[in-house]
């Protein structure tokens, strides 16, 4: 079985990374733009209101994941009548969640003055406008998650990813326009709300008119819904744990250290979030496929093979990102936020990333295991383990900050990640899913790590190349990426991986012309 067994998945993977690239570029350009036109105070007001609203989205309960998990199972079993009934029950649940979100939003909006006690009258007015728009936006978002789950269950990944690209580009354009026209922070929320509403309407038409997706409103079947509720509760716990794990360092630093330390950590956290997102794109495409494998009775060894095939590509992405950060991280941070931070602050931000990211690679390169847990209805166990890791995270962070100050915060995080992700979670994967963990990690890093390490060492001279512009940074990055690609192609990739790369390269017009040369005949012979 090939790693990506369809053109659709290949194309979807490309669009996914295009989306991530555009999202990253958008964040990099929008942040200084908004600070310039809004000012520090109004931009901070937006972040305050948005942070409150984000916690409401926890009530989403992972509807998209639930839809993909169970609709894919019904499709695999060709039980279309059962699929319609299940979809109808989830639709009712989605509407109930939307009602709850509106009610909670109303209560919070009524008490905004009690939550934010230091705002001016004008800021209160803006915060009410933003929050009400956000509640409407969140309701539409929850509905979109339901529709998107159906689309992904049918494996229409290309359509979904193209809409994602359209969404990020349109939000960027409208945000710049509304901000420039003087709508202020409210304009940011307006831009997001308008785009999400339009995207959701397009998805609804596509799902019900093109895919012919049908729902059937029927009686509440407890036996059918209980497994789904189990997954939802796992997703809820995971969301809570995720929010705590992403914010606990900043919270504790704010209590025990200074706001400046929190600022530095927040900058590092932005890059860490990007790092965490990169390898998950590919694994998200495999949930329906994993569901079919489990339904057909695939054993642990075969599932391990799948984790290895996907994990090797994820390791390349993570390894290249980490190596690039070590080589060019200081240059990037100085260009991006150097004017706002001291030299010590920039170095501290880089140190935070380099301490946390290596340990965060472990769950990322085996991210397909989450899809396997979903297929076996065992995601709750992972969530419980992560909850335990969250407790360790809090304890270790407090202890390490007391002992070593701000630098102790990433150390406590790294230690909790190592215990939770690398040890406890893999023991569970081995015993519960019968995955061959030792073989998995050995096969994933085989030959790849030496390619990444050797290219990093060869590019050390680039570290001492002083740069002053983004163009120079891009040139340095392209040199490293080019060297790494050839190293991986000649020494790191196995036969299957070379075939996948060749298939992509042949789609590029200029490559098709070059393939007629004698050099390419030599390359083709090396693949045999």
CA distance 482 to 184: 42
Q: What does the pLDDT read at residue 118?
A: 63
Structure tokens belonging to residue 79? 């039980």
Tell me the pTM.
0.67
CA distances from residue 117 to 104, 108, 121, 123, 377 in whole angstroms, order as listed:
20, 14, 11, 11, 44
Nearest to 94 by CA among 122, 129, 66: 66
Q: 149: domain range? A: 1-231
CA distance 321 to 337: 19
Residue 476 within any structural domain of the chain: no
Q: What does the pLDDT read at residue 369?
A: 82
Q: What does the pLDDT read at residue 340?
A: 63
- Taking a C-beta distance cutoff of 8 angstroms, is the pair 422, 364 a contact? no
Q: What does the pLDDT read at residue 116?
A: 65
Residue 379 within any structural domain of the chain: no
Q: What does the pLDDT read at residue 513?
A: 61
- Taking a C-beta distance cutoff of 8 angstroms, is the pair 215, 84 a contact? yes
Total number of domains in the chain: 1
Residue 149 within any structural domain of the chain: yes
Other beta carbons less than 10 A from residue 396's beta carbon: 21
Q: What does the pLDDT read at residue 483?
A: 92
Written as tens digits, the pLDDT of the chain (528 aa) is 444 445 556 676 677 778 777 887 887 777 667 767 776 567 667 766 776 777 777 777 778 878 877 787 777 777 778 788 888 888 888 898 899 989 988 888 888 777 666 667 777 788 888 888 989 998 999 899 888 888 888 778 778 888 888 998 999 999 999 988 888 888 888 999 999 999 999 999 998 888 888 887 777 666 667 767 777 777 777 777 776 776 677 667 756 766 566 667 777 877 887 788 776 666 666 766 777 777 777 777 888 888 888 888 889 888 999 999 988 888 888 887 766 666 777 788 888 888 888 888 888 888 888 878 877 777 777 778 888 888 888 888 888 888 888 888 888 888 888 888 889 988 988 888 888 888 988 988 888 888 889 898 988 888 888 778 888 888 988 999 999 988 888 888 888 878 877 877 777 666 566 555 544 554 555 555
Q: Is 217 exposed, middle or buried (0-12, 13-18, 19+ CB in 10 A)?
A: exposed
Give, as one character, the DSSP assignment of residue 3: S
Q: Is 466 exposed, middle or buried (0-12, 13-18, 19+ CB in 10 A)?
A: exposed
CA distance 178 to 512: 44
Residue 145 within any structural domain of the chain: yes
Residue 3 within any structural domain of the chain: yes
Nearest to 69 by CA among 225, 287, 329, 365: 287
CA distance 444 to 308: 5
- Taking a C-beta distance cutoff of 8 angstroms, is the pair 411, 400 a contact? yes
491-320-389 Cα angle (round to 5)? 120
Longest distance between any two alpha carbons in the chain, whole Å: 74
Q: Please list, in sequence order, all residues whose beta carbon lies within 8 angstroms of the beta carbon of residue 276, skipping any fewer than 6 positions away.
A: 360, 364
């Amino acid at each position: 079985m090939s790693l990506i067994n369809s053109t659709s998945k290949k194309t979807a993977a490309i669009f996914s990374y295009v989306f991530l690239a555009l999202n990253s570029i958008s964040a990099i350009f929008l942040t200084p733009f908004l600070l310039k036109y809004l000012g520090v105070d109004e931009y901070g007001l937006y972040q305050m209101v948005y942070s409150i609203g984000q916690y409401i989205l926890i009530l989403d309960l992972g509807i998209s994941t639930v839809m993909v998990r169970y609709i894919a199972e019904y499709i695999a079993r060709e039980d279309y009548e059962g699929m319609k009934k299940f979809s109808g029950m989830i639709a009712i649940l989605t509407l109930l969640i939307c009602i709850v979100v509106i009610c909670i939003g109303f209560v919070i909006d009524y008490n905004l003055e009690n939550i934010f006690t230091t705002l001016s009258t004008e800021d209160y007015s803006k915060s009410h406008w933003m929050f009400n728009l956000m509640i409407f936006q969140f309701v539409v978002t929850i509905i979109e998650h339901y529709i998107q789950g159906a689309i992904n269950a049918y494996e229409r990944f290309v359509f979904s990813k193209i809409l994602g690209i359209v969404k990020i580009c349109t939000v960027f354009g409208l945000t710049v326009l509304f901000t420039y026209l003087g709508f202020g922070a409210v304009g940011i929320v307006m831009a997001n709300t308008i785009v999400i509403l339009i995207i959701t309407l397009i998805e609804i038409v596509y799902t019900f008119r093109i895919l012919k997706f049908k729902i059937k409103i029927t009686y509440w079947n407890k036996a059918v819904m209980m497994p789904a509720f189990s997954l939802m509760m796992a997703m809820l716990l995971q969301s809570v744990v995720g929010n705590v794990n992403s914010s606990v360092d900043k919270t504790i630093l704010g209590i025990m250290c200074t706001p400046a330390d929190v600022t530095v950590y927040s900058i590092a956290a932005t890059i860490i979030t990007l790092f965490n997102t990169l390898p998950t794109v590919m694994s998200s495409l495999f949930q329906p496929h994993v569901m079919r494998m489990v339904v057909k009775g695939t054993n642990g060894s075969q599932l391990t093979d799948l984790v290895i095939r996907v994990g090797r590509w994820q390791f390349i992405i993570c390894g290249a990102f980490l190596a690039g950060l070590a080589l060019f991280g200081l240059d990037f941070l100085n260009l991006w936020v150097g004017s706002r931070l001291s030299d010590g602050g920039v170095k501290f931000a880089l140190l935070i990333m380099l301490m946390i990211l290596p340990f965060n690679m472990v769950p990322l390169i085996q991210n397909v295991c989450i899809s396997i847990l979903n297929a076996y209805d065992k995601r709750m166990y992972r969530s419980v383990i992560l909850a335990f890791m969250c407790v360790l995270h809090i304890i270790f962070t407090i202890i390490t900050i007391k002992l070593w100050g701000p630098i102790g915060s990433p150390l406590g995080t790294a230690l909790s990640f190592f215990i939770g992700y690398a040890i406890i979670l893999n023991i569970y994967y081995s015993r519960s899913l019968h995955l061959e963990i030792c073989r998995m990690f050995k096969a994933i890093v085989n030959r790849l790590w030496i390619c990444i390490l050797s290219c990093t060492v060869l590019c050390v001279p680039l570290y001492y190349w002083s740069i002053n512009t983004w163009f120079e940074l891009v040139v340095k990055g392209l040199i490293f990426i080019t060297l790494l690609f050839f190293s991986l192609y000649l020494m790191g990739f196995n036969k299957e991986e070379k075939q996948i790369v060749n298939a992509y390269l042949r789609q590029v017009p200029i490559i098709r012309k070059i393939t007629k040369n004698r050099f390419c005949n030599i390359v083709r012979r090396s693949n045999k």
